[in-house]
């Protein structure tokens, strides 16, 4: 087996209006320290901005952080936009304050994984690494 020629490219973003960026920045740093190329969008991104940046930057995955309660609307919108632009191969995962009952519906909509409060950082890093095996 050969080692992948290029590092994984991951877009890490904050969609929606909330500014809680502690978790998202720690994750961006952890993925970067694990050797991935991390594109951090900054705050207050619209789903349109996220989808178009992801496509332009040709990323393998998009990690979204939402702590405002708007996850049902925003995750779905990003997935829709990726589908419209034939970019469903980009894996979407996320984290934030997401109640138990919203998890199955978001996963059914196409969110690959959801990391909620208290998840160890290496679990997230391992998940992203696993996308290429």
Residues engaged in binding another protein (CB under 8 A): 16-22, 25-26, 28-29, 32, 38, 40, 42-44, 46, 67-70, 72-74, 97, 99-100, 116-118, 120-122
Nearest approach, Cβ of residue 2 and another protein (Å) = 31
Q: Give the integer Cα–Cα distance in Å for 113 and 95.
A: 8
Tokens 């199955």 sit on residue: 104
Tokens of 69: 């309660």
Tokens of 43: 């705050």
Nearest approach, Cβ of residue 89 and another protein (Å) = 25
Nearest approach, Cβ of residue 93 and another protein (Å) = 18
Beta partners for residue 12, in sequence order:
40, 63
Nearest approach, Cβ of residue 99 and another protein (Å) = 6
Helix (H, G, I), strand (E, B) or coil at 29: helix
Closer residue to another protein (CB): 44 or 83? 44
Closer residue to another protein (CB): 121 or 131? 121
Q: Give the integer Cα–Cα distance in Å for 29 and 12.
A: 10
């Amino acid at each position: 087996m050969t080692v992948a020629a290029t590092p994984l490219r991951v877009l890490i973003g904050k969609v929606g209006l909330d500014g809680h960026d502690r978790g998202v920045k720690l994750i961006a740093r952890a993925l970067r320290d694990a050797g991935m190329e991390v594109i951090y969008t900054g705050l207050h991104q619209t789903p349109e901005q996220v989808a178009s940046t992801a496509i332009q930057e040709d990323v393998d995955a998009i990690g979204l952080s939402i702590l405002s309660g708007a996850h049902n609307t925003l995750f779905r919108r990003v997935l829709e936009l990726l589908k419209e632009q034939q970019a469903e191969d980009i894996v979407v995962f996320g984290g934030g304050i997401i109640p138990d009952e919203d998890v199955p519906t978001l996963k059914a909509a196409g969110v690959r994984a959801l990391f909620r409060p208290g998840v160890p950082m290496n679990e997230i890093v391992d998940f992203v690494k696993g996308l290429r095996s």
